[in-house]
Amino acid sequence: MKSYAFLLAALAACTQQTPVILAPVRMETPATTATTTGSVFDTQRDDPFATTNRIDWPGPNRYRSSSGVPGPDYWQQRADYTIAASLDTVAAQLNGSVEIRYTNNSPDTLRYVWVQVDQNLYRAGSKGSALFPADSRWGVRGFQGGYDLTDVEVNRTSVRPRINDTMMRLDLPTPPPAGGGKATISIKYSFRVPEHGSDRMGRDSLLFEIAQWYPRMAVYDDVRGWNTDPYLGQGEFYLEYGDFDYSVTVPAGYTVAGSGVLQNPEEVLTAEQRRRLGTASRSTDVVQIITQSEAATAKTRQIAGTKTWRFRAQHVRDVAWAGAPDFRWDGTNWNGVLAQAYYEFPKAGKAWEHAAEQTAWTIRQYSQLFLPYPYAQATSVAGPVGGMEYPMFVMVGYGNDDPASIFGVLNHEHGHEWFPMIVGSNERRYAWMDEGFNTYLNAFASEARYPGENAYPGYLKNWGDAVTQGTQSPLMTAPDNIAASALGAIGYRKPAVVLLTLRNHIVGPDLFDAAFREYTRAWAFKHPTPGDFFRSIENSAGQDLSWFWHSFFYTTDVLDIGIESVSTRTSEGETFAVIALRRNSSIPFPVRLRVGYADGTTQDFSLPVNIWARGNRFEAVLPVRGPVTGVRLWPDPSVPDWNSSNDTWGSPPPANRAGPVTRE
C-alpha cells in the first residue's frame, strides 16, 4: 500500500483550521441528482418571466468590463427636474408641474422616451390592482385615483402622450442626438392622495407622506434599452440620476420635511427655529428645532394662507416629502451630516424622541463600514407608511415607548441610502440587489447596536418558511413575480443569508469586505447588473464562484450534505479516518469537519468545493491522532445546511458557540 508519510508531514505543517485535502478519493456519479426540495428550478425552462443570462450578465464590453467595473465607454442618461406642487389638504389632492431636462448620453438617437406615471396604479383596472388583492400590503384598498395630465410638451411643442398603464411614451418632435443631446419635457398634472395607500405614500388625518408624486423618466441603458416594466405595487423603482429643485406649497401652519436641503428657511421658519436648526447642524447632542409645546400649539392654531417650502437635492435619483401642522422636529449632527426626525407626539410613540440619534448612528455605521454618506442631511419621518426609502428621506411607522420599536425599520430604510439610492440597481428586476444587500448590511448594524444579538437565525428561519411552504422563487425572479407572502424571504432574508455565507465560509471576511466595498465604490451613482456584481466579487476575491451564483441565485434548491459512514484504518502504524460524504441536493459546498477523540480533544479539517466536481459522493481519508469517537459537519453553526439529521456521526464533538455572524 502507498505510504502516507507525505500527508502526515503536510498535516504537521498546518494549523488546525488550515484547509487541506489529505486523502486519496473515490467518487461516484449518480444517474440522477437527489434533492431535498424536488427538482432543481430551471429558470429558463420553468419560469416564463425569467431574465436571461444575456440580461443578467451583459458584457464584457466597452461599457461593462470583465473585472466587474464600468468600462471605459460606460454611459448613462441624466434627468434634471424642476417641480412646483401645491397640496390641497381638504380635497387630499396634489397639483403640480414638472420640467424635466433630459440628456441623451447614449450612442443612440432617441425618437421617443418613456416616462413613469406610477400614480396610475390607482386607476380602476390597472395591472397592479388585478395582481394584488385590495387587502394586501400592496393593494389599492378600493381607492381610485391616478394622474390627470395636461399641457404635455417637449421643447415647447405640444405632444400627445401614449399611456400604457403606469408607463407613458412621448414621441419627440426633435430627437436628441447621441452623445449629449438634450430635450426639455414639461407636464402639468394632478392626483388624489390615497388614505394610507399602498405602502409607498399616503395620509393619516392632517399628516401627508408624498412620494411617486411627479412623472419620472424611465431608464434607458446599455443592457435593455428602455426599461418599461410597469409599476405593479410590489417591486420598486429604477431611475436616472440628476439634480432636483422642487417647491411645495402647503397651508401656512404646516411643517415640511423633504429630500435635499431646505433653500428658504428665512421664509418658512421663525428666527428661533433657524437658530436651533443651525445649532443642530453642528451639535452631536439632539436639539429640538420644534418643541412639543410648539407642535401642540401649531395643531390648533389657525393660520390663513399658504407657505412654499423650497428644496434642492443634487446627484439623486428621486425626491419625496411629508407635511403636517404638528410635527415635532429634532436634529443632531454626525460628521457634517444633519440627522433629523419629524413626528407627531404622542401618536408616534415616545421611541421617536430617540429617532434623530438613531438616524445619525445609522449614517455613521454604514459610512464607516461601506462608503461615506455623500449627502448633507438624512431625515426620518413617522407616519402611516410602515417603511419606505427615498434619497435623504425615509418613512417609518409609529412606535411605542421602547426605542427598539422603531430602530429596526429606521436602520433598514436608511441602509437603502446605499442600496439602491447610491448604487442604482434595477429594483424592478432584482430585489436582492437592494433589499437583499440592505438586509445584509442590517445584520452588522443590529449586532453593533445590540451586542450579543445575532440576525442570522431569524433570516434563516424566514427563508426556511418559504422553503417549507413551497413559495420559493430563484433570487433572479423579478419581485412582482414572487408570491407576496414570500417576498420578505426571497427579496430580503435569503440573499442576506447567502451573502453572509459567502463572506464567512467561502471568501473570508477580510477579502469579501474589501470586495464589497470596491463594488460599492465602483458603481456609486451608476447602474450595475447582477453580472457586474458577480464579476466584481470574483475579481476582488480571486475566486471562480460560478458554482455559488448558480446554486444560490438561479435555483430553489437548498444545501444538504451529510455523513454517510465513518471508519478507521491503519497503515504503517498510522491511523486514518475514512469519512464518506454525500451531497443530497444539487448544491456543492466546501466541507468543514470536526473529529472527536476518546480523550475529549478535537481536530478540524477543511475540504474545498472541488471535491464535488465529479459526483455527489466523496470519500475522504484523513490522518487522525487515534480512534475516532464522533464526527460533526459544520462546527460553525452558521452554515445553512437544511438537514441536520445527517450532519453528525457517533458521539459528535460540540459545535462552536454561536457568536456574532458578522465576526471578523
Per-residue pLDDT at 160 exceeds 60 = yes
Question: Residue 134: pLDDT band by 50, 70, 90 thresholds?
Answer: low
Overall pTM surpassing 0.95 (yes/no): no
Q: What is the mean pLDDT of residues 229-245?
A: 93
Residue 30, φ and ψ in degrees, nearest 5: -75, 160
**Cell numbers linked to 541:** 476575491
- Rounded CA-CA distance 525/225 in Å is 18
Per-residue pLDDT at 388 exceeds 60 = yes
**pLDDT attached to residue 140:** 60
49-72 pLDDT tens trace: 444 455 678 879 999 999 999 999
* Choice between 367 and 46, residue whose per-residue pLDDT is larger: 367
Q: Which helix (H) or strand (E) holds 548?
A: helix 546-553
**pLDDT attached to residue 299:** 87
Contact assessment for residue 287 and residue 279, using Cβ atoms and an 8 Å cutoff? yes
DSSP code per residue over 420-458:
IIIS---TTT-GGGTHHHHHHHHHHHHHHHSTT--SHHH
**pLDDT attached to residue 661:** 74
**pLDDT attached to residue 90:** 96
Classify burial at 397, counting beta carbons within 10 Å of its beta carbon; exposed 0-12, middle 13-18, buried 19 or more: middle
Q: Which residues pair with 456 in a beta bridge?
A: none
Contact assessment for residue 391 and residue 243, using Cβ atoms and an 8 Å cutoff? no
Contact assessment for residue 491 and residue 459, using Cβ atoms and an 8 Å cutoff? no
- Rounded CA-CA distance 23/13 in Å is 16
Per-residue pLDDT at 657 exceeds 80 = yes
Per-residue pLDDT at 5 exceeds 50 = no
Q: Mention every residue, 6+ apart, whose C-beta is less than 8 A from residue 431.
A: 235, 236, 478, 479, 482, 487, 490, 491, 492
Per-residue pLDDT at 80 exceeds 80 = yes
557-592 pLDDT tens trace: 999 999 999 999 998 889 999 999 999 999 999 999
Per-residue pLDDT at 173 exceeds 80 = yes
- Rounded CA-CA distance 80/105 in Å is 13
**pLDDT attached to residue 17:** 36
Q: Which residues pair with 645 in a beta bridge?
A: none
- Domains for the chain: give ranges and CATH numbers: 5-40+559-650 (2.60.40), 43-72+440-553 (no CATH), 78-439 (2.60.40.1730)
* Residue % of the chain over a pLDDT of 70: 89
Report strand pairing: 220-221 vs 225-226: antiparallel
Lowest pLDDT segment from 123-137, 141-155, 405-419, 424-438: 123-137
**pLDDT attached to residue 234:** 83
Other C-beta atoms lying within 10 Å of the C-beta of residue 542: 9
**pLDDT attached to residue 129:** 81
Q: What is the mean pLDDT of residues 376-386?
A: 95
Question: Residue 18: pLDDT band by 50, 70, 90 thresholds?
Answer: very low
Question: Residue 235: pLDDT band by 50, 70, 90 thresholds?
Answer: confident
Q: What is the DSSP letter of 17?
A: T
Per-residue pLDDT at 29 exceeds 60 = no
Closest to 82 measured CA to CA, from 205, 208, 185: 185
- Rounded CA-CA distance 604/654 in Å is 12
Q: What is the mean pLDDT of residues 194-211?
A: 86
Contact assessment for residue 170 and residue 187, using Cβ atoms and an 8 Å cutoff? no
Cis geometry, peptide bond prior to residue 346 (ω within 30 degrees of 0): yes
Q: Mention every residue, 6+ apart, whose C-beta is less than 8 A from residue 624.
A: 568, 575, 576, 577, 595, 597, 603
476-529 pLDDT tens trace: 999 989 988 999 999 999 999 999 999 999 999 999 999 999 999 999 999 999
- Rounded CA-CA distance 469/482 in Å is 13
Q: Mention every residue, 6+ apart, whose C-beta is less than 8 A from residue 136.
A: 484
Per-residue pLDDT at 598 exceeds 80 = yes
What mean pLDDT is reported for the chain? 90
**Cell numbers linked to 252:** 401656512
**pLDDT attached to residue 31:** 32
- Rounded CA-CA distance 408/310 in Å is 31
DSSP code per residue over 359-385:
HHHHHHHHHHHT----SSEEEEEESSS
* Choice between 415 and 47, residue whose per-residue pLDDT is larger: 415
Closest to 488 measured CA to CA, from 443, 432, 414: 432
Per-residue pLDDT at 133 exceeds 90 = no
Contact assessment for residue 185 and residue 99, using Cβ atoms and an 8 Å cutoff? yes
629-643 pLDDT tens trace: 999 999 999 999 999
